[in-house]
Structure 1
Amino acid sequence: MSDLDPNTVRELFAAVPLFAADGDAVRGEILEQSQIIEPDKNEILFIQGAQASSLYIVLSGWVKLFRETGDGKEAIAGLCTHGDLFGEAVLYNDAVYPFGAQAASEAIILRIPAEIIRTRVREDGEFSTRLMREVGQRLKALELHMEHLTVMTAPQRVGCFLLKLCRGKNRRNINILLPYDKSLIATYLGMELATFSRTLVQLRDIGVEVDGPQVVIEDAGKLQNYVCQSCSLDIVSCHTDYLKSE
């Protein structure tokens, strides 16, 4: 049982896009039937191939989704933060998770039993549409990430990652913290840790200063222009949700 303040949990849950349109009563019922978990950094939530028994919603923190190869290597399938869901395999009877999940930082996660989700999908067409939209957006994000790994330079990939951490911030003199280990960021962006470190130095010419986990971006617009020239999405479509208008 979580020691979190119930009001805090309700506020975090109400801000999750998939459930934002539900009333307080509906969300309250879901919370009563679900479990709040607070994994420590690096704690395994489930392993690849395990029976899919719950849908997970990240309320705060970060979660790494990964696959393991036969020779023990690890491929990162995604990184989830507030509002993101994972474990969609629960939509299908007798399904297994196609990846493992591990807390990349301390986190607060809502674990919703499979039957609750399956019942909502069967009985609530509007919820089913919202859920399919969320899953579709995840797939589009994965496709875009694969595109970036193919066509972007290392500095552009790192710059794009930093821009996504600027959600809701002003465009100038942005202060952010790297949310998890640099080695994990490097792996996710398809580079060695040494390459990632060198790339951060290269970004100084575009107004990015790094001191440990602390990052200062002098002008996000300048960074956008540098990064987004090699992306198939236009700047407005991609970053409208990330930065406040001036």
Structure 2
Amino acid sequence: MMKEKPMKSPLSREALQAVRQVPLFSGLGDETLALLTDGALERSYRRGTLLFSAGEPADRFYVVLSGWVKLFRESPDGNECMVGLFTRGESFAEAAMFDRLGFPVNAAVAEDARLLVFTADHFLTTLERNHGLTLNLLANLTGMLRYLVRQLDQLTNQPTYQRLAAFIVSLCPCETNQATVCLPCDKLLIAGRLGMKPESFSRAMARLKEVGVSCERNCVHVEDIAALRRFANTDEEELLSPLPSVAQGQRTAAMRPCR
């Protein structure tokens, strides 16, 4: 008797909502999205888990459902250089699939995370059959380049408190004027991401009290998101988010229970 192949569990509603926030998948029909997510698996990872190392075959990419993931390089003396910090509704490592040169950086779980893992084989096969998805990918990569230019401008021209304010605004949901967002417990991650020293991070957070921002452990409460955006002296297209993003609508992020 032929043994039946085990059925793959369907993705949760929360996972599907997170996928729809990713710029790579924005605007796709239900049928195409179903084809792509059929090849994806939900996985949970503990803080500190190494997802991949530089030079390994880039045979997968990820969407963050909850928690935080960092991309980094290691210097010859063993120090880490932050490349990216990712949270809910954001994808990473998708571009590395195409040049076949392996992952260019390391990736590790910065805070306990649930991730959606897409295999390169399934994704690329689906891509060949859907030109609309190809155009979405090109738009995403173009958006990343534009983001890097904005990031360089902010890191060189904005004071630390404005960088932090813009970062926090980027994590707040768009539909409310108050929010409580959770940051990685290790504030060194955010300090490195925003190009500041740890002591500068603390001073910048204290400065944000002027506009109703309070912080308890890793939870930041924002009384007035619009006021914080004005304080950051930026608009919605210039937010310094954790990830190069095309669709700022994906910023329904980082809303998880505080510890």
TM-score (norm 2): 0.79
* Structure 1 residue 17 displacement after superposition: 4.0
CA shift at 1:168, angstroms?
2.6
Which structure 1 residue ranges, 5 or more long, are not aligned?
none
Q: Does 1:127 align with 2:133?
A: yes
Does structure 1 residue 192 correspond to structure 2 residue 197?
Answer: yes
Alpha-carbon offset, residue 28 of structure 1: 3.7
Residue 225 of structure 1: which of 230, 233, 250 is its match? 230
2-structure distance, mates of 1:17, 1:7: 20
SS in 1 for 2:174: coil
Aligned equivalent of 2:3? none
- What percent identity do the matched residue pairs reach? 29
Question: Bigger shift: 158-167 or 11-20?
Answer: 11-20
Aligned-partner SS, 1:104: strand
Distance 1:85 1:176, change over 3 A: closer
Change in 2 beyond 3 A, CA 1:29/1:174: closer
Find the counterpart in structure 1 of residue 211 from structure 2: 206
In 1, the alpha carbon distance for the partners of 2:128 and 2:56 equals: 24
- For the pair 1:148 / 2:154, whether they are aligned, the reply is yes
* Structure 2 equivalent of residue 90 of structure 1: 97
Residue 184 (structure 1) shift: 0.9
For the Cα contact (< 8 Å) 1:39–1:108, is it kept in 2?
yes
Q: Does residue 1:170 correspond to 2:176, yes or no?
A: yes
Match of 2:164 among 150, 158, 165: 158
Cα distance, 1:160 vs structure 2: 0.9
Residue pairs, 1:229-240, within 5 angstroms = 235-238=235-238
1:54-84 deviations in Å (ceiling 9; x for gaps): 1222223221111112222211111122232
Alignment of 1:76 onto 2:82: yes
Higher relative contact order (CA 8 A, sep 6+): 2
Per-residue deviation, 1:179: 4.1
Q: Secondary structure of the equivalent of 2:152?
A: helix
Post-superposition offset of 1:152: 0.8
Count matched residues: 235
**Conserved 8 A contact 1:120-1:128:** no
**SS, match of residue 45 in structure 2:** coil
C-alpha RMSD over aligned residues: 2.7
- Which range moved further: 205-214 or 9-18? 9-18
CA distance in 2, matches of 1:95, 1:178: 33
Shift of 1:190: 1.3
C-alpha distance in 2, partners of 1:83/1:143?
22
Amino acid at match of 1:153: P
Checking the alignment, whether the CA contact within 8 Å between 1:186 and 1:196 is kept in structure 2 is yes
2:220 is equivalent to residue 215 of structure 1:
yes
Structure-2 residue corresponding to 1:62: 68
After TM superposition, the score normalised by the length of structure 1 is: 0.83
Structure 2 letter corresponding to 1:140: R
Residues 55, 117 of structure 1: 8 Å contact kept: no
* Structure 1 contact 174–218 (Cα < 8 Å) conserved: yes
1:43 counterpart (35, 39, 49) = 49
CA distance in 2 between counterparts of 1:80 and 1:238 reads 17
Q: 1:31 to 1:5 in 2, by over 3 A?
A: closer
